Chain A
């Protein structure tokens, strides 16, 4: 296990380096310059500004400077969004709200989705099943920003149950955005669990267990549910990505000082260092999630070996 994780960590570093490199050069070939908006600068002043951010150096030098800084944990300073602010500070100050609504959304969605899927599978072809399928379809097909707008209008403005927007009332402020984000994982989890459980419930060993006199709940939880969890774990990674991309819009709708919304803005105004910083941050997040998912496989199903040979 330790060997496996060690190997994976090395891969992670390589992956990150590749992502950083690719993004760096991709940004550089994109049209738009961070100082282009300063069209009022004289050539001399422009040179000073470019020198301040190292934009006057040849591209390979800029690249190695950046990577060297990165190795030391230095993500550079924001060029035009927050003149002179450390990118690390920007990310750290905005990470909290994003992490909170993302995590709450994911947990809420997955837990409810699992319950919904289980009930649907156990009550196959009844109205409960049809209702749960309907909810799943709605959750998959309607984007999170539509839910966000509806929740804001009804639960915030009309019924006054939660804050309309802004990040000021502690946990209460996080409820509506988390619920909006939860819809996608909820629908995904419900669909997976239902399909898998139905399949497992029809398999031979369940028939055997029944013949041996196992109770209904024992069969549902001990056998069917555990086997159904494996494919769900497979989609946890992509689900985290969906939450991440969904949060860009949800953060904007609820005026939450999150990192997703910041990322979009930095691309529009060509703030190199913020684009790089947030990309790297998102990548680390995803890579770690993928690793955790792989480790979870082994925990849930010992048949899946993390490393060849000995377990």
Chain B
């Protein structure tokens, strides 16, 4: 009798487990079969009959609402499922997309008139000038709470600043639909990089009728989205780890698009990503940390230099009180006191470059195609001896024999390794310096930054538009990124002139920005550049022409194709 109870229990457990197993699991992948050892054949143009690309992302999509997007995953998808007036091409140059050719620009550089080409939304309705007006107004409306709306428009587009502050109606934004195919944009000041801005997702159109009809459901999953780009987003439930992109037959340049389907899965564990790549299930896998080292000599390794620069922010007033970093010699000593080459070669080992600058290399070119870096070259290089002397002078000026500082950094494996290396370097090269490390999650770091509760912070910056100003502008007095009490009127004046009177004189403008960078790094050592980030990935040899971009969405799949799989 008692025995039967136990066996009854055990059998119940087993039956339940079988039941759960049977109903769990979900749908089966209809993805393609892949071969393990596909030989790469460099036969460009020789397309496989099956055009399917299998990719991975490292995070879920937080939102597909153009006005609310602020993260790399969403921007990357927008770049492929929607399109703006301009689009970055294979050479990372902004070229007309929905705009029918270059816009007409008034002589003072303040009024742009765009003619739109004939193009459709994925439901077949035409994209009109009003879709741009509606989208931009929606993003600048303070009620929308758009992180990029005001950030991208304020100070550039007429009345954007006032509207974002709630002092004016959204209808007064400097953008009007002259007719269905003509869009007029009025600027507050000439913006030399305006075309590249037009390729940024925040400036994409949104279909007013669709957004209004969907209401709160808008952008909550792929059913409640509408597209006008090379692909459409499908099979996205709003919170899931998987989605697809399908070729959009309504796209105006659908002829160029060769891929039929892109399958995307979120894989957060780097080792799993590499295993999926090696099993042939995925066509491309990003490599980080130890994997970058392990696959350093793999024939399918791809290295990209990104326009993202990491640097020490040297906070001169912690919680309102001056610290040792208010002394310029101490700051210079720190900026020169660590070996950057060893850092990128040994600690990072992912194709990163030592940075002796703020504005990254291979990012912006002037009218004669010269990289901005050619103007200023290397500014603040590693020199242990000089650093030691500067540090000794600094200590003397402060009247102390030793200094203890804290490095506030990220809590990822890479960030921790790097900060440990930098601590060791600085303590070895600068006698009398003690460094304490503090590793916190990103959100916490932002909060400590906001309240200026740190000494040294490892921070990084990627561009928001294609111009040196996106970096130079960070450190003017009172800037949101300058939470380190740095202020130099000369620097501010140079930035102001580059934004103002020099806006229509490209050569003088570049010179002013170069001068500002020199002051920031050489004269003031306000920040200490560390490295420019490189990224490594494994890519199957049959994948061609995935274009990596320097800002906005990371990749374009518009031109990609499968050949020789």
Residues of A within 8 A of B (CB): 31-34, 36-42, 44-46, 48-49, 52, 80-85, 89-90, 93-94, 96-97, 99-100, 103-104, 107-108, 111, 149, 152-153, 156-157, 160, 164-174, 221-222, 225-226, 229, 252-255, 257, 261, 268-270, 296, 299-300
B238 on interface, CB distance cutoff 8 Å: yes
Q: CB distance A164 to B272 under 8 Å?
A: yes
Nearest CB on A from B295, distance (A)? 15
The residues of A that contact B448 with a CB separation of less than 8 Å are 31
Given A36-B443, A36-B450, A42-B165: A85 touches B275 (CB 8 Å cut-off): no
Q: Is the CB of A103 within 8 A of B63?
A: no
Q: Which of A52, A94, A255 contacts B145 (CB 8 A)?
A: A52
Q: Smallest CB–CB gap between B365 and chain A, Å? A: 27
A168 in complex: contacting residue of B3, B28, B440, B444, CB < 8 Å? B28
Residue of B nearest to A149 (CB): B271
B27: chain A residues at CB < 8 Å are: 168
Q: Let me know if B301 is at the binding interface, CB within 8 A.
A: no
Using a CB–CB cutoff of 8 Å, the interface residues on chain B facing chain A are 2-3, 5-6, 9-10, 13-14, 16-17, 20-22, 24-29, 31, 60, 62-63, 65, 68, 70, 142-151, 154, 164-166, 216, 220, 237-242, 265-269, 271-272, 275-276, 278-279, 281, 440-444, 446-448, 450, 480
List of A residues within 8 angstroms of B441 by Cβ: 32, 268-269
Given A103-B17, A252-B269, A153-B275 contact (CB < 8 Å): yes
* Contact A84:B216 (CB < 8 A) given known A39-B446, A153-B275, A168-B29: yes
- Of A90, A97, A165, A170, which contacts B275 at CB under 8 A? A165
Inter-subunit contact A252/B480 (CB<8 Å): no
Measured CB to CB, the nearest residue on chain B to A173 is B25
Contact partners of B446 in chain A: CB under 8 A? 32, 36-37, 39
Residue of A nearest to B449 (CB): A39
Whether the Cβ atoms of B20 and A37 lie closer than 8 Å is no
User: In the complex, what residue of chain A is closest to B21 when comparing beta carbons?
Assistant: A171
Could you say which residues of chain B place their CB within 8 Å of the CB of A107? 13-14, 16-17
Please name all residues of chain B whose beta carbon is closer than 8 Å to the beta carbon of A149 when the two chains form the complex.
271
**With the chains together, A212 CA to B31 CA distance in Å?**
66
CB nearest to B146 among chain A residues: A45
Which single residue of chain A is at the shortest CB-CB distance from B56?
A: A255
Please state if B60 and A169 are interface contacts (CB–CB under 8 Å).
no
B148/A40 in contact, CB under 8 A: yes
Q: Nearest Cβ distance between residue B337 and chain A, in whole angstroms?
A: 29
- The docked-state distance in angstroms from the alpha carbon of A40 to that of B146 is 9
Given known pairs A166-B29, A168-B29, A226-B6, the reply for A31 and B447 (CB within 8 Å) is yes
> Which residues on the A side are within 8 Å of B444 (C-beta)?
31-32
B282 smallest CB distance to A (angstroms): 9
Name the residue of chain B whose CB is nearest to the CB of A221: B3
Q: Taking A42-B154, A229-B6 as contacts, is the C-beta distance between A257 and B241 under 8 angstroms? A: yes
6 shortest interchain CB distances as A-B pairs: A170-B25, A168-B29, A32-B443, A100-B24, A40-B151, A83-B63
Chain A residues with CB under 8 Å of B279's CB are 156-157, 160, 164
Given A84-B63, A97-B24, 11 additional A-B pairs, CB 8 A:
A32-B441, A48-B145, A81-B62, A84-B216, A93-B240, A96-B24, A107-B16, A167-B25, A170-B26, A257-B242, A268-B442
